[in-house]
Amino acid sequence: MNEIAKIEEGCQIQGLYTIKECLGSGGIGIVHRAKHAVWEIDLAIKRPLAKFLKYSHQLENFFNPSAKHGQV
């Protein structure tokens, strides 16, 4: 799968998170503010850009950016 679903304000994810807004984007991903339905708190949801879904080393950098620079 090379494409990921577009996430817009008001979208629900797994019935637990409601997207409130896009906070920003960078070189490999996008960050959204979401409200947790049970905890009733705002959280950040980070997702990779579609073009990085096919490269495992780039996904590793997305999920663990400090590993790229030797920081923990």
- Nearest residue to 58 via CA among 29, 25, 31: 29
pTM over 0.75: no
Full set of structural domains in the chain with CATH: 12-68 (3.30.200.20)
How far are the Cα atoms of 21, 22, 55, 63, 68 from residue 50, in angstroms, in the given order? Answer: 19, 16, 10, 14, 20
| Averaged pLDDT in 10-residue chunks for the chain of 72 residues | 67 93 88 95 89 69 59 48
How far are the Cα atoms of 30, 31, 50 from residue 46, in angstroms, in the given order? Answer: 6, 4, 13
Residue with structure tokens 């999920």? Answer: 63
Q: In what order do the strands lie in the sheet with 29-36?
A: 12-13, 17-25, 29-36, 42-48
The amino acid sitting at 29 is G
